[in-house]
Amino acid sequence: MAGTTNATVGSYLATRLEQVGLGHYFAIPGDYNLALFDQILANQNLTCISCCNELNAGYAADGYARAHGAAAMLVTYSVGALSAVNATAGHYAEDLPVILISGGPNTHSEPENQILHHSLGEVRYGYVREMFAPVTAAAVIIRHAEDAPKLIDQTIATALRRRKPVYLEIACNIAALEVPAPKPYQFWQKPSSNPESLKEAVDHTAALLNAAVKPVAVGGVKLRAAGALDAFRQFIDASGYAVAMMPNAKGFFPEGHPSFVGIYWGPVSSPGTEAIVESADAYLFAGPVLSDYASCGHTIEISPKKLIHLGPDFVQLPGALYQDIAMDEFLVALAGQIKGNDTSLATFNRTRTQNVPEPPIDPDAPIRTRRLFAMIQGMLDGNTTLIAETGDSWFNSINLSLPAGSAFEIQMQYGSIGWSVGAALGYQLAVQPNRRVIACIGDGSFQMTAQELSTMIRYGLKPIIFIMNNGGYTIEVEIHDGPYNVIKNWNYAGLVPAFNGADGNGWGCQVRTEGEAREAIAKALAHDGLSVIEVVIDKDDCSRDLLEWGTRVCASNARPPKTLKSFG
């Protein structure tokens, strides 16, 4: 298309999606986007993935962007777009460049004072863009074909450069209009550091760390968005420091690395990790987000006087702030000035506790969560990605060890339950056929987005999904219990035949014992299609870490409002 004289608005957009590396997009049709649909479908290098609803399509785009680096989805005006706004907010919170494309009203409708369907019943049609503005890096309406090339290019570039979602609304009556064909455009433009600021920040940081007795390093979730994963490892290799990862950055650093000491999550850290981090006399946190969830209800013991906080574009030191600094450039430069110091790592290795081997499987014993996750540990290899849904699956999955090459995904900042079903779909689509997704999902979360099992079956995807059936919202129970945390029980495994219809190849089963779980896992690993394993567990069977974490988050939520002083 790029070599022809002209394109259409829709084909121009499709070519740009292809040029930034996308092979798929997630879509729900609606009358405002059908003309645009036709134009994008004409591009044979893009595959449309039809989801069951817009929210789930947004979750699928989330998973795809994590695996692929970016994603796109197509919805209709208002009723479609606003159904996706929650997922888009998650894209923003999690630093994921997702291009949300919406069909829009005919350009004549507003000037001619026409009331339209799918709207608020009033002649003001910019409200959807206004609603998306706070949860996107750019929210743009295209009403004139001649504006389309520039606005499409600028909006896509904004998503990729800022690592945030964008909203792009295209009027339904311009999708097929001609525009100039796409010309070369630099979408990926890496930010660079201010040289003077970079040098001073590196010198200052190196001086602080080189003077420390037992410094440590902690990796955070912003490492990926900043493109600094390799640079962080280069710094660790040069420094010899003990390194811990925050829970939402699990998998961003190889867990078989000799410097890795576990997950730092305050009181629910990996054994020995909390003490090593918090007893250090200097700690470098690279890309952290210290939310209440990631900091265990803001109970971590980190002193600002010892903290070096490295953000995507700044370095915060005790008493100094350096800006306009690219995280990867800073870490590479710092690695060149750092003195090796393995004191914290040696201390950890002297005091670490050895893992106790799991006892042999008792085929008739009721399956418990701890035993199930020991079996899931055995499923992980260099070609698997583990996805953990909000809830007890967080804690059980984070405690697993990732083999070299294995990956891990979690939505900890936004924490929208039900996310993992769509995310497993999108992630598996992006990495097939060379990598397999294993997803761990609670029954309450699964009920939010169960329909996307049918999409996995429709497109022949082969993830293995564990549904923990304990009859309720366990994570909410541990934060604040009440009758609202009890849900209607489903025959979860029985949904698979229903979604198969006449031509599907999904397989599902229910397990209640250790022996049944072992047999189900073996069958799932051999099955050439979607596998769903419903694991029936006791409603009170949850990890001790969830109990500890839930208590602390509850205490943080329950802080009373401050009383205003009376001036009577």
Tokens for 324, please give them.
């306009």
**Per-residue model confidence (pLDDT) at position 567:** 44
Collapsing DSSP to helix, strand or coil, 213 comes out as coil
Residue 409 scores a pLDDT above 80: yes
Q: CB–CB of 4/184 below 8 Å?
A: no
Domain ranges across the chain: 6-180, 195-351, 369-554
Residue 380 confidence (pLDDT) above 90 = yes
pTM: 0.93
Taking 70 as the threshold, does the pLDDT of residue 85 lie above it?
A: yes
- Distances, alpha carbon 339 to alpha carbons 280, 317, 526, in Å: 16, 19, 49
Tell me what pLDDT residue 50 has.
98
- Whole-angstrom distance, CA of residue 270 vs CA of residue 315: 27
Distance CA 151, CA 157 (A): 10
295-306: pLDDT as tens digits: 888 889 999 999
Residues of 386-396 as b/e, b for ≥16 C-beta within 10 angstroms? Answer: bbbbbbbbbbb
Q: How confident is the model at residue 477 (pLDDT cuts 50, 70, 90)?
A: low
> Of all residues in the chain, what percent carry a pLDDT higher than 70?
96
Per-residue pLDDT reduced to its tens digit, 500-516: 999 999 999 999 999 99
Q: Is the pLDDT of residue 3 over 50?
A: no
Q: What band does 475 get if pLDDT is binned at 50, 70 and 90?
A: low
Phi, psi of 170 (to 5 degrees): -120, 120
DSSP state of 294: T
Q: Which residues, at least 6 apart from 52, have a Cβ–Cβ distance to it below 8 Å?
A: 451, 452, 454, 455
Nearest to 259 by CA among 241, 273, 284: 241
Please name the CATH architecture into which domain 369-554 falls: 3-Layer(aba) Sandwich (3.40)
SS3 25: strand
Query: What pLDDT, on the 0 to 100 scale, is given for residue 446?
Result: 96
For 295-340, the pLDDT digits (tens) are 888 889 999 999 999 999 999 999 999 999 999 999 999 999 999 9
User: How far is the CA of 65 from the CAs of 23, 79, 457, in angstroms?
Assistant: 12, 24, 21
Tell me the two tokens of residue 382.
Answer: 């260099």
Strands (E), 275-388: 283-286, 307-310, 314-317, 320-323, 384-388
* C-alpha distance from residue 243 to each of 197, 215, 221, 256, 344 (Å): 26, 10, 14, 12, 9
DSSP 357-415: PPPPP-TTSBP-HHHHHHHHHHH--TTEEEEE-SSHHHHHHHTSPPPTT-EEEE-TTT-
Asked whether the beta carbons of 113 and 123 are under 8 A apart, the reply is: yes
Which superfamily does 6-180 belong to?
Thiamin diphosphate (ThDP)-binding fold, Pyr/PP domains (3.40.50.970)
CA distance 18 to 5: 18
Query: How does DSSP classify residue 339?
Result: P
Q: Please, is 307 exposed, middle or buried when counting C-beta atoms within 10 Å of its C-beta (0-12, 13-18, 19+)? A: middle
| Distances from the Cα of 413 to the Cα of 390, 410, 544, angstroms | 10, 9, 22
Q: What is the pLDDT of residues 532-566, one digit of tens each?
A: 999 999 877 777 777 677 777 777 777 888 765 54
- pLDDT tier, 354 (very low <50, low <70, confident <90, very high otherwise): confident
**Run of H or E residues at 557:** helix 544-557
Q: What is the DSSP letter of 472?
A: B
Q: Residue 384: beta bridge partners?
A: 436
Residues contacting residue 184 through CB under 8 Å, at least 6 positions apart? none
Q: What's the chain's average pLDDT?
A: 93
Query: Nearest Cα to 339, choosing from 239, 229, 463, 194?
Result: 239
| CB contact at 8 A, 234 and 260 | no
Q: Has residue 410 got a pLDDT over 60?
A: yes
174 CA to centre of own chain: 34
User: Domain 195-351 is classified in which CATH homologous superfamily?
Assistant: TPP-binding domain (3.40.50.1220)
Distances in whole angstroms, Cα of residue 380 to Cα of each of 7, 270, 464: 46, 19, 12
